[in-house]
Amino acid sequence: MADRYRCSGCGNLTRFDVVVTRRTREFHHFSVGGDVAVDEAETLSEEVERVSCRWCGAEGDAIERLTPTAE
């Protein structure tokens, strides 16, 4: 389940710009015609670099990360 965010500036819970650096290992399956399909993808590492509110532009300490709860 993906992290969710809340903007303390305007209360936004739904619209954010998120900059992520991700390293993956992928199995690429090429057709005879040269088209590619990714059959398997494994995330090796992931780092959220910046989150900003799409409504008011706030970022940094104004954005709270909400941890998902198991139901």
Residue 44: name the closest of 26, 29, 68 by CA: 26
Q: How far is CA 33 from CA 17, 36, 58, in A?
A: 36, 9, 47
Q: Please list the residues that pair with 20 across neighbouring strands.
A: 48
Q: Is the entire prediction scored with pTM above 0.75? A: no
From its phi and psi, is residue 64 left (phi > 0), alpha (psi between -120 and 50) or beta?
A: beta
How far apart, in whole angstroms, are the C-alpha atoms of residue 15 and residue 7?
Answer: 9
Unique residue bearing structure tokens 């959220």: 48
pLDDT band at 71 (very low <50, low <70, confident <90, very high): low
Confidence of residue 3 (pLDDT cuts 50, 70, 90): confident
